[in-house]
Structure 1
Amino acid sequence: MALLLIAFQHPPPMYLDQLLQRQNNNLDLVRLVAACMVIYGHAHAVLPIGVNSDFVARWLQFDYSGSLAVKVFFFLSGLVVTNSLLQKKCLTQFILARIFRIWPALLVVVTACAFVVGPLVSNLPWESYFAHPQTSSYVRENLLMRLQYELPGVFASQASQAVNGSLWSIPYEVDAYIVLAALFALGLHRYKWLATAVVCLIILDPVTGNQLLFTWRPQSLSIDALAPCFAFGALLALWRDKIHISMAPALGALVLFLTLRQHSHAYYLFYVALFLGLLYVCSLPAIVALRLPADVSYGVYLWGWPMQQLLALYFPELGLSFNKYMAMLLATMLGTLSWYLVEKPCIRLGQRLLPLLQQTLRPLTRRTASAASAAPPTPPAHSG
């Protein structure tokens, strides 16, 4: 008991900017658990047998485990990438880092699905499969964020014909990066209160029925909440030097959620409680001690659905539990390979390319500055 109490002792007092230093948190573990929750939540959609036993859906009633996990991803992404951008203040580095984080692993997954998994499980002959226009477009369209879910004859007898249903969230993540980069380029980070106002506008837009910003989109809780989750992470990053890590705010938000649960937007309070609680938990010494050697969560997320589809195709009689937990194991193995063979080398490649790109862009920047300084001065205005 004494060892247990020591292990789960309160973390040393720290602010959020300290927590975001890698040695003080275990966000990689949180992300891995979230990726496994996505697999858990997708099992009934892939293999709809029996009663859906999703414990999150039963308790919350407005969300389920997979969707909730995606919101955790968006919150952590908003927090971490905004903090990185604000610290390094280099838009070129930010863009390169996002490109080499998102696309290499995605390229491998969609290529493997189209040219390895597809021909092996398609009900079409190989000649017809490879000649089909959907096969040639699958990799291109998904890399361009114009999602294509199906391949010809692949999983045709399954409850869902989607080869990788998890891809749906990636374009929204990329959109969030684009908006963040644009706001940084506009210099919004120099005016903290103005930046706070813009972020709060994004957070509150779903409350208005998407009448402020995303007016072209029909309302959908699973999608509408993504931008506010990312924006809430960005908001915390803006004030990282003022936010003290404690469980009290999370408990306060949870009590308010339980008290106001019948309100149509009470779910905001639950997400706030969850996100703040996760930050506290990942700072506990016992959790920090479990730090993983690699961040395999993105690979697990990408490979989870295809593994579930294959298990549902070949072993449907083994049921939902087998589908969930075996897919978690297989996706974790593939995610680990993805990290060491694809993601980590590509991240390092992006870091090596940064100085070369900056050196290439520097003369262009200088010429632009010289042209601006050589422009004739604007004559003073004369009053009538």
Structure 2
Amino acid sequence: MTRPVDEPAPVSGAGAPMVLSSAFSAPDNSYGAVRLIAALSVVLSHSLLLGFSSPDHDPLAWAVYDLGATAVNIFFVLSGAMLTHSLLHQGGLRRFARNRFLRIYPALVASAAFTALFVGPFGTSAALPSYFLDPGTWLYPINVAWNFEGAVLPSMFEHGRYPGDVNVPLWTIKYEILSYIVFGVAAALGFLRHRSFAIAAWLAVAVTLAGDVGADPTGEPPLESLLRFSFAFLTGVVGRQLGTLVPMRFGWSAAAVALALAGTGSPFAEITWIVGIGYVALYAGGSSWGGLGAFARRHDLSYGIYLLAWPVQQVLTREPIWAGPQVLVLFVLSGTIAGGLAYLSWRWIEKPALQLKARAEEKVL
């Protein structure tokens, strides 16, 4: 994989302004904490949706993207920025592909197996012997690996708010993987050696995306989803490629929020929202969050929470007992359970996979 043109070193010193490149290089940055908050925001958004059966109660229902969709956009912005940051320090298409596979698939397949074997018995309407004798139960983890949210389990959640939806949030992961593939190929071909290529691609997607006012992230067509996630990912890529020029300041963060709000209802609503909120996420992660930031650096629970929260919430909402303030109880309960499961996923699946990645890199060196 061809590495990008070396960026100039940021100005250092006590009086030097913080820029994005130095924020990503800081050992005490809090991007893990930002991802954790984003994952919990998805859980909250889904709790409100499952509890009220209507998106109108979402705190960002008035915006072009609701709370859950905004959090997913943040994931893509951070992903683009972090991959670009890594690319500035190491290359190799084979290494890149291996690292991305180890980060995505072990936890994805393990969470699917857990859902089929341990969540499924509580969510299926089928008799347990029939459920466990059905080949679909045992093939579910394999189906998830390629079909994502389209994979089904026998008679699952038939009486829930969303019948048959075993793990609908997985629909975004295929776009994440596609982003990785395009990014890796572009880097291997040398396109990312020049910032102008990423900027041109970013602007081209922005122009295409403009005009899609009132996006519905729960029902947007695949092409719109592709444009949305491509733009968010490229926002992170371009931001990090211009890392020595992008200041990390509170005033700029406030201006980014103003930009996001000002664009609401305009033909540029999706663009201004992704750029504005994306900058806020990059700014927020560039500072130390104390104990929370340290915890998130040691235990990256965001991916596990995202993978496991929906099946847990579907089980909890099989009976319509959640309404009004009780929806917050649903959020706390499902977030706590998913967080506990995510810790086990991190401890026994994701962290060992990352250690395997590190050992493979040591052999190369």
Using the size of structure 2 for normalisation, the TM-score is 0.84
- Indicate which of 125, 131, 154 corresponds to 2:156: 154
Establish whether residue 346 from structure 1 lines up as the match of residue 318 from structure 2. no
- The answer to whether the Cα contact below 8 Å between 1:67 and 1:222 also exists between their aligned partners in 2 is no
- The answer to whether the Cα contact below 8 Å between 1:43 and 1:324 also exists between their aligned partners in 2 is yes
CA gap of 1:218–1:306, structure 2 versus 1, over 3 A, is: closer
Counterpart in 2 of 1:370? none
Structure ID, larger Rg: 1
For 1:102, what is the secondary structure of its paired residue?
A: helix
Counterpart in 2 of 1:295? 300
Establish whether residue 26 from structure 1 lines up as the match of residue 33 from structure 2. no
- The answer to whether the Cα contact below 8 Å between 1:124 and 1:152 also exists between their aligned partners in 2 is yes
Establish whether residue 17 from structure 1 lines up as the match of residue 21 from structure 2. yes
- Indicate which of 74, 82, 86 corresponds to 1:80: 82
CA gap of 1:257–1:344, structure 2 versus 1, over 3 A, is: closer
- The answer to whether the Cα contact below 8 Å between 2:47 and 2:331 also exists between their aligned partners in 1 is yes
Superposition deviation, residue 24 in structure 1: 4.1
- The answer to whether the Cα contact below 8 Å between 1:82 and 1:237 also exists between their aligned partners in 2 is yes
Counterpart in 1 of 2:269? 266
Counterpart in 2 of 1:331? 338
Establish whether residue 207 from structure 1 lines up as the match of residue 207 from structure 2. no
- The answer to whether the Cα contact below 8 Å between 1:92 and 1:354 also exists between their aligned partners in 2 is no
For residues 51 and 347 of structure 1, the distance between their equivalents in structure 2, rounded to whole angstroms, comes to: 37
- The answer to whether the Cα contact below 8 Å between 2:41 and 2:68 also exists between their aligned partners in 1 is yes
Counterpart in 1 of 2:328? 321
Using the size of structure 1 for normalisation, the TM-score is 0.80
- The answer to whether the Cα contact below 8 Å between 1:34 and 1:72 also exists between their aligned partners in 2 is yes
CA gap of 1:252–1:44, structure 2 versus 1, over 3 A, is: closer
CA gap of 1:262–1:303, structure 2 versus 1, over 3 A, is: closer
Within a 5 Å distance, the mapping from 1:179-328 to structure 2 comes to 179-207=182-210, 218=221, 224-286=227-289, 290-292=293-295, 293-313=298-318, 316-317=321-322, 319-328=326-335
Letter in 2 for 1:353: A
Superposition deviation, residue 38 in structure 1: 0.4
Counterpart in 2 of 1:5? none
CA gap of 1:181–1:53, structure 2 versus 1, over 3 A, is: same
Q: Could you report, residue by residue, the CA deviation over 1:65-109 in whole angstroms, capped at 9, with x for unpaired residues? A: 111110011110111012112321222221111111101111111
For residues 148 and 133 of structure 1, the distance between their equivalents in structure 2, rounded to whole angstroms, comes to: 16
Range with greater deviation from structure 2 (120-129 or 312-321): 312-321
Letter in 2 for 1:280: Y
- The answer to whether the Cα contact below 8 Å between 1:24 and 1:288 also exists between their aligned partners in 2 is no
Letter in 1 for 2:244: D
- The answer to whether the Cα contact below 8 Å between 2:301 and 2:342 also exists between their aligned partners in 1 is yes
**What root-mean-square deviation, in Å, do the aligned CA atoms of Structure 1 and Structure 2 show?**
2.8
Letter in 2 for 1:67: A
- The answer to whether the Cα contact below 8 Å between 1:85 and 1:91 also exists between their aligned partners in 2 is no
Letter in 1 for 2:204: L
Counterpart in 2 of 1:382? none
Letter in 2 for 1:134: G
Establish whether residue 176 from structure 1 lines up as the match of residue 179 from structure 2. yes
Range with greater deviation from structure 2 (233-242 or 244-253): 244-253
Letter in 2 for 1:344: K
CA gap of 1:16–1:321, structure 2 versus 1, over 3 A, is: same
Q: Could you report, residue by residue, the CA deviation over 1:26-67 in whole angstroms, capped at 9, with x for unpaired residues? A: 011110110001011112433336885321214x2x221111
For residues 206 and 59 of structure 2, the distance between their equivalents in structure 1, rounded to whole angstroms, comes to: 27
For residues 222 and 141 of structure 2, the distance between their equivalents in structure 1, rounded to whole angstroms, comes to: 29
Letter in 2 for 1:350: K
CA gap of 1:317–1:338, structure 2 versus 1, over 3 A, is: same
For residues 147 and 237 of structure 2, the distance between their equivalents in structure 1, rounded to whole angstroms, comes to: 23
CA gap of 1:108–1:54, structure 2 versus 1, over 3 A, is: same
Establish whether residue 125 from structure 1 lines up as the match of residue 127 from structure 2. yes
Letter in 2 for 1:178: I
- The answer to whether the Cα contact below 8 Å between 2:211 and 2:267 also exists between their aligned partners in 1 is no
Range with greater deviation from structure 2 (89-98 or 121-130): 121-130
Establish whether residue 38 from structure 1 lines up as the match of residue 42 from structure 2. yes
For residues 190 and 283 of structure 1, the distance between their equivalents in structure 2, rounded to whole angstroms, comes to: 25
For residues 254 and 11 of structure 1, the distance between their equivalents in structure 2, rounded to whole angstroms, comes to: 26
